[in-house]
Amino acid sequence: MKLAAIGSNCIDYYNNVDGGKAYPGGGPVNMAVYAVRLGGQASYIGPVGSDEYGSIMRQAVEGKGVDVSHMHVKEGGTAVSQVQLIDGERVFGDYDEGVLTDYTLSEEDLAFIAQHDVVVCDLWGKVEGFFGRLEGMGVKTAFDCATRPGDEASRTAIPHTDYLFFSSDDGDTETLRELMKVLHGQGPKLVIAMLGEEGSLCFDGETFHKFGIVPCEDLVDTMGAGDSYIAGFLTGLVEGLPIEDCMKKGAANSTETLRYFGAW
């Protein structure tokens, strides 16, 4: 797979670990790193600040084998999320967008993205308005709504998204399935709900496919688990695997991430 991950990145600053510790992350960045971990190729397209955190981000992502030729340095600060780790679960605090505030894609970026198999963005990427153009350029599109498929950014991207992901803590309910049907009717080929400990559910327009989890006996940190799932699922799709096998690949990749501290 050749993945283009676009939009958001951030430094996850754990303020209750070792007196404060900074880890590079953000959904698209994480997905790019995980795609490479699975044996694929990946590029990250997005902005970092001219500060120390921007240098840390670029060096860390490039060090994982991700193409950063279209990671742009902008005057200002890199995005930062404040995080606390409580009983193995991360709890997010304040978020500073930094240079992401007014980010947009250039024509050169779009031409570069079109050379990939799949392009993925998340709710905070600021580039959902380009999904219509990307769809028209022939690249498959994926979007992560987090827990908010009803947000404006999600609503903008959904009609032009091939593979739509979102998260829910409510489990496999009739309400969830009805929502997935509604979302599918807006354009996506596949709608995937990530349900945490209950696994995942995928709707292809006719059938609901369900997969559980790959058990993790040594849970350390849940940061990046959902992004790992998305990278694994998309890798399976590009490899031509059946939906259930894509779900299994996503679950296994997620479990790998649960075993260590930080997203990667």
> Looking at residue 248, which CATH number applies to its domain?
3.40.1190.20
pTM: 0.90
Q: Cα separation of 213 and 194, whole Å?
A: 10
Does 84 score more than 90 pLDDT? no
> Quick one: pLDDT band at residue 254, thresholds 50, 70, 90?
confident
Does 259 score more than 60 pLDDT? no
Does 219 score more than 90 pLDDT? no
| Residue span of the structural domain in which 57 resides | 2-258
Higher pLDDT, residue 257 or 95:
95
Q: In this structure, is residue 170 part of a structural domain?
A: yes
Q: Cα separation of 234 and 20, whole Å?
A: 34
Q: In this structure, is residue 189 part of a structural domain?
A: yes
**Model pLDDT, residue 120:** 98
Q: Cα separation of 24 and 155, whole Å?
A: 28
Q: In this structure, is residue 184 part of a structural domain?
A: yes
> Quick one: pLDDT band at residue 257, thresholds 50, 70, 90?
low
Q: In this structure, is residue 124 part of a structural domain?
A: yes
Q: Among residues 67, 46, 58, 5, which one has the least CA distance to residue 235?
A: 5
**Model pLDDT, residue 213:** 81
Does 151 score more than 70 pLDDT? yes
**Model pLDDT, residue 166:** 98
**Model pLDDT, residue 134:** 94
Q: Provide the number of structural domains found in the chain.
A: 1
**Model pLDDT, residue 8:** 92
**Model pLDDT, residue 155:** 97
Q: Cα separation of 145 and 171, whole Å?
A: 17
**Model pLDDT, residue 221:** 53
Does 246 score more than 80 pLDDT? yes
Question: Distances in Å between the alpha carbon of 98 and those of 82, 143, 219?
Answer: 13, 22, 32
**Model pLDDT, residue 220:** 54
Q: In this structure, is residue 264 part of a structural domain?
A: no
Q: In this structure, is residue 128 part of a structural domain?
A: yes
* 128-137 pLDDT per residue, tens: 999 999 999 9
Question: Distances in Å between the alpha carbon of 23 and those of 15, 34, 124, 153, 223?
Answer: 11, 15, 18, 26, 11
Does 122 score more than 60 pLDDT? yes
